[in-house]
Structure 1
C-alpha cells in the first residue's frame, strides 16, 4: 500500500478537485493525508452559518475535518499561512499570507511532513493554479520544491480538462459555463453586465484548467461521487444549499465532476494514447 498526500490551498478545494481520488485511494487501502496551505480566512461565509463571535477560519477547519472523514482521509495538516485572497487584492500584501511565503521555508515545512508520512504520491496544482489564484499557484511552487527535497517519486498536478469543459459548454448551450464561472470566481455571474459575462466566458475558455494534450491522467470517480458531493456539502460556510454544486442533477454533476484530471509532472502523453486511470503504479 502507498501513501497519498494531497496538497491544497484552502478548505473545500480538496473536496472539489481531488475528493474522489482521495476516497478511491482510501477504499483501496492506501493512506491518505491532506495538507492545506491556509485555513481560508478570506472566504465569504454563507449568511447565517457562523455563530456569534465565531471566526471563519475556525469553522473552515472544522468543515475540513468533517469532509476528510467522509473521504477516508487519515490525517489533516495545515501549514499555518493565511489566505491571500484573489489575485490583485490588498490581502496579497499581507506578510503572513501564503502568496508572500518564502519558498524555501514553506517547502521545508511540507518536505518535513512528506518525509514523516513516507509520501509515495503527491498532488499539487498546475502551474497557474487552475484559474490563477495566488495561493493555488503557490501550492504548485511549494509542492514541487518540497517533493524534490523529500524525494517523493510521483507528483501529479491537479487540473481541469479545458477541452472537456468546452465540449460540455457547447453541449449545454451556455448553462455549463455559468456554473464554471461561479466555481472559479465565487460569484453569481448572472447578475453581471453582459460584457463582463462575456469576458469571464473568454477567461474560462482561454485560461481555466489545462488543454487536453497536456493532461496525462483521468481518474474516474463516479463510484464515489456521493461521498465527493457530501464532502462538498460539509463545507457549508462556503458552499450553500443554493450553490450549483448542490443543485445540479446527478447527470450534470457526474459530467462536471465524475472525472478528476491530473498532469504527471514532467511527463507527456503521446497523441492518441488513453488517459492513465490511476495515480498508483502507473495503472
Structure 2
C-alpha cells in the first residue's frame, strides 16, 4: 500500500476539507500522514489546537501528525507581527517551508500529496501559501502525484442555498475555489460522514469560539449524520503531477 501525506494550513482543515478522503484511504489500508503548517494560534504557541488535531487524526485513522513549526497568519486585512517563539507561515520563504515538507515526503516515501487549489479554497493567506509550498515540496521530493483539495463553484452555490435553509451562517466569495471544468477527482464519501463529523467535533476550542466559523461548526457537529453527509459527504480535487528533479 502507498503513503498519502495531507498538507494543511491549520488544525480543523484536515476534517473539513479532506476528512472523508483520509478516512477512506486509511480504511483501504494506506498509510496516512498529516502535515500542518501552523498550530492555528495567533499569539504565543500553546498545545490545545495541535492536541485537538491529533484527536481528529486518530478518529480518521491517520498514523502520524507533524507540525512544520509556524504560527497562524490570520485572515483579516492586517498581518500582525510574528509572535516571539515562531514566525507566521506567510512570512517564511516558500523554499524554506517547502524544504521542511519535502524532508517529510522523502522520509515517508509519499506517493501522493494532498494540498489546496491555487486560490487556497476560500482565499485565506495561509491556504494560498499551502498551495505554493506544497507544489514546491513535491518538486523537491519527487512526489509523483499531487491532489489539490477544492470545491466546484456551482456545488458551492447549492451548498450555500441549503445552509441558508438550515440557518447556518455561511458565506463565500464566488470567484474563489474552482470551476467544475478544473476538477479531476470527485469522491462520494457519505459512508464516512460520521467519522468526518466526529473529527470536526474533536476541535473543541473552535466550537467554543465566538466567530462565524465557530457558529458554523456548532451547527455542523449537531446535524444528523445523513444531513451532514448531504452537505459535506463529497470531496473534490484537482490532480497535478510533479516531475522529479
Quickly name the TM-score band, shorter chain normalised: 0.7 to 0.9
Contact 1:215 1:261 in 2 (8 A): yes
Match of 1:206 in 2: 175
Q: 1:18 to 1:57 in 2, by over 3 A?
A: farther
Match of 1:20 in 2: 20
> Match of 2:197, SS?
helix
Deviation string for 1:84-139 (max 9, x for gaps)? 01142232x43810011111111111101100000000010111111111110110
- Stretch moving more, 97-106 or 248-257: 248-257
Alignment TM-score, normalising by the size of structure 1 = 0.76
Contact 1:60 1:237 in 2 (8 A): yes
Deviation string for 1:194-238 (max 9, x for gaps)? xxxxxxxxx53332x212111111111111111110000000000
Alignment TM-score, normalising by the size of structure 2 = 0.87
- Alignment length (residue pairs): 232
Query: Any gaps of 5 or more consecutive residues in structure 2?
Result: 209-213
| Residue 62 (structure 2) pairs with residue 57 (structure 1) | no
Name which of 240, 253, 267 aligns with 2:228. Answer: 253
Q: Determine the C-alpha separation between the residues in 2 that align with 1:205 and 1:175.
A: 19
Displacement of 1:163 after TM fit? 0.7
Name which of 161, 175, 182 aligns with 2:165. Answer: 175
Match of 2:196 in 1: 228
Name which of 83, 104, 107 aligns with 1:116. Answer: 107
Deviation string for 1:144-175 (max 9, x for gaps)? 000001000000110122111213444x3843
Q: Determine the C-alpha separation between the residues in 1 that align with 2:199 and 2:163.
A: 29
Match of 2:70 in 1: 81
Q: Determine the C-alpha separation between the residues in 2 that align with 1:84 and 1:60.
A: 15
Deviation string for 1:11-65 (max 9, x for gaps)? 011011111111110111100000000101039xxxxxxxxxxx77311111111
Contact 1:218 1:260 in 2 (8 A): yes
Q: 1:261 to 1:179 in 2, by over 3 A?
A: farther
Match of 2:211 in 1: none
Q: Determine the C-alpha separation between the residues in 2 that align with 1:137 and 1:146.
A: 14
